[in-house]
């Protein structure tokens, strides 16, 4: 029998379509926030109807009655199937603090009792369900009791939401994250791995702590969201455990690791991913350099910094010659600004070989693989949304919110176009870096990882 698409699935499709439009990420997330309000309210209504009828959508009452419903000792009683059936939807408008939201209220026929939503009332015209459910679910630690208390505070004591409805909405987020972070990665083969962290306040009387994240581009040019995990610090041990966990789940080491300049992150990536090349994020490095320059010369220094890496006029293909040419530009920058800003130049020259690793890769990938700021922008949106709250109550709520935002955003991340020539170039590099025994019969476009480490 043909099943129609449910309103919740329709909204999820609209959210995916927003991310697929290729607009700036911040603009996308604003639209997703509004669609998220509809999704949460619609999900709550449909869950209430499931409970009212005692069966899920397209499930027959006689099938429910025939099931073995012997509950476990600690299980909630299963409600008996009720007479009646769903008969389409009626569009209604819900007033939220983010503006009016249109949802589809299920229509019921043949029931012996009139259905009235305990969350929204019979008319479904007033609620701040977006704030109530999102803040209570994500920020208060996904507690059923906290969700109920928040709704009671916002809507009055008569707006009691059933425990099963709240549990279903909240537990789905936890379940999705737990399943995602344990999934097998042996089918993923990466060309590029991006790793970064963002800091959130998670524990009482404690400073902000990092959430570590990893995403990459696979050999087909497709983006893959790989890992997300809370940590006490960005130490060597924290990053080493995080990266080792990815490998233990079957991930193949990438060709290039792109990250900022954190000492713990660098040492861990060189230990765990020792054969992969390492690229220092140029945007982070630019910030490091310009932070040591006076306001008077700031724009001039910034302009000269980015001109170092403007390779369009050099006419040199990717490889060692292009790396050498850009390294000479770094020397020219140091000569020009060394006397006026020795601290800035020292910052540039520190770990300088990692600034040009990306120049060994296909030129059409250069602008995307020379920085790690893509995922940082998404983290920034997460921080902005919880800024008014101040602190999460713990790791669970913090990571759940970050996962919810990043997982949905990942559906709209742009990948790379891979041509046959590009694929051949990357495969040659893969054999040389990750399978050096095969390098004797292959002319590599880049030297081994060890030589780069020594050059640093």
Q: Which domain holds residue 134?
A: 7-58+79-179
Q: Are residues 29 and 124 in the same domain?
A: yes
Please give the pLDDT value at position 119. 58
**Residue 154 falls inside a structural domain:** yes
Q: Are residues 218 and 274 in the same domain?
A: yes
Q: Are residues 409 and 267 in the same domain?
A: yes
d(CA 269, CA 231): 16
**Residue 291 falls inside a structural domain:** no
Domain count, the chain: 2
Please give the pLDDT value at position 44. 74
**Mind giving me the DSSP string for 184-228?**
--TT-BEEEEEEEEEEE--STT---EEEEEEEEEETTS-EEEEEE
Q: Are residues 139 and 261 in the same domain?
A: no
d(CA 454, CA 436): 18
CA distance readout (Å), 96 to 35, 169, 427: 12, 19, 53
**Residue 67 falls inside a structural domain:** no
Please give the pLDDT value at position 2. 47
Mean of per-residue pLDDT scores for the chain:
76
Q: Are residues 390 and 247 in the same domain?
A: yes
Q: Are residues 104 and 28 in the same domain?
A: yes
**Residue 51 falls inside a structural domain:** yes
CA distance readout (Å), 150 to 131, 136, 155: 9, 7, 9
Q: Are residues 23 and 152 in the same domain?
A: yes
Query: For 242-256, what is each residue's pLDDT tens digit?
Result: 999 999 999 999 999
Last residue of a domain, one of 179, 207, 231: 179
Q: Are residues 224 and 148 in the same domain?
A: no
Last residue of a domain, one of 161, 179, 197: 179
**Residue 354 falls inside a structural domain:** no
Last residue of a domain, one of 158, 179, 200: 179
Tell me the pTM.
0.65
Q: Are residues 238 and 90 in the same domain?
A: no
Write out residues in the chain with pLDDT < 70, as ranges.
1-3, 24-30, 32-34, 36-37, 56-82, 84, 95-99, 116-173, 374-394, 397, 405, 408-409, 411-412, 436-456
Q: Are residues 12 and 94 in the same domain?
A: yes
**Residue 112 falls inside a structural domain:** yes
**Residue 334 falls inside a structural domain:** no
Please give the pLDDT value at position 109. 75
Please give the pLDDT value at position 391. 57
d(CA 453, CA 349): 14
Q: Are residues 171 and 234 in the same domain?
A: no
Q: Are residues 379 and 400 in the same domain?
A: yes
**Residue 427 falls inside a structural domain:** no
Residue 258's domain is classified under what CATH number? 3.30.420.10
């Amino acid at each position: 029998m043909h099943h129609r698409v449910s309103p919740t699935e329709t909204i999820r499709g609209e959210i995916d379509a927003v991310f697929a439009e290729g607009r700036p990420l911040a603009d996308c997330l604003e639209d997703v926030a509004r669609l998220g309000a509809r999704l949460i309210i619609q999900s709550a209504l449909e869950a209430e109807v499931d409970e009212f009828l005692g069966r899920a959508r397209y499930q027959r009452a006689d099938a429910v009655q025939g099931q073995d419903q012997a509950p476990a000792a600690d299980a909630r009683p299963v409600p008996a199937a009720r007479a009646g059936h769903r008969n389409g939807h009626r569009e209604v408008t819900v007033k939220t603090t983010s503006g009016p939201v249109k949802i589809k209220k299920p229509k019921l026929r043949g029931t012996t009792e009139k259905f009235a939503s305990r969350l929204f009332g019979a008319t479904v015209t007033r609620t701040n369900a977006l704030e109530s459910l999102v803040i209570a679910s994500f920020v208060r630690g996904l507690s059923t009791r906290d969700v109920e208390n928040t709704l009671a505070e916002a809507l009055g004591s008569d707006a009691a939401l059933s425990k099963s409805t709240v549990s279903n909405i909240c537990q789905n987020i936890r379940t999705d994250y737990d399943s995602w972070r344990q999934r097998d990665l042996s089918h993923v083969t990466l060309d590029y791995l991006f790793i970064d962290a963002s800091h959130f306040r998670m524990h009482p009387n404690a400073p902000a702590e990092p959430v570590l994240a990893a995403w990459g581009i696979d050999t087909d040019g497709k983006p893959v969201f790989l890992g997300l995990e809370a940590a006490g610090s960005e130490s060597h041990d924290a990053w080493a455990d995080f990266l080792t966990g990815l490998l233990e789940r079957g991930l193949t080491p990438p060709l290039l690791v792109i990250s900022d300049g954190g000492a713990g992150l660098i040492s861990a990536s060189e230990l765990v991913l020792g054969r992969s090349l390492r690229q220092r994020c140029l945007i982070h490095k630019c910030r490091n350099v310009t932070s040591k320059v006076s306001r008077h010369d700031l724009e001039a220094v910034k302009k000269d910094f980015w001109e170092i890496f403007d390779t369009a006029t050099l006419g040199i293909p990717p490889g060692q010659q292009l790396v050498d040419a850009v390294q000479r530009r770094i020397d020219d920058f140091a000569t020009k600004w060394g006397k006026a800003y020795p601290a800035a130049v020292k910052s540039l020259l520190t770990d300088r070989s990692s600034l040009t690793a990306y120049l060994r890769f296909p030129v059409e990938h250069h602008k995307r693989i020379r920085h790690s700021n893509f995922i940082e922008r998404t983290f920034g949106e997460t921080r902005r949304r919880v800024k008014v709250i101040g602190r999460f109550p713990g790791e669970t709520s913090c990571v759940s919110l970050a996962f919810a935002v990043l997982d949905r955003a990942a559906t709209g991340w742009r990948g790379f176009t891979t041509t046959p020539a590009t694929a051949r170039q990357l495969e040659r590099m893969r054999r040389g870096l990750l399978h050096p025994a095969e390098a004797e019969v292959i002319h590599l476009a880049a030297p081994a990882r060890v030589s780069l480490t020594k050059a640093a």
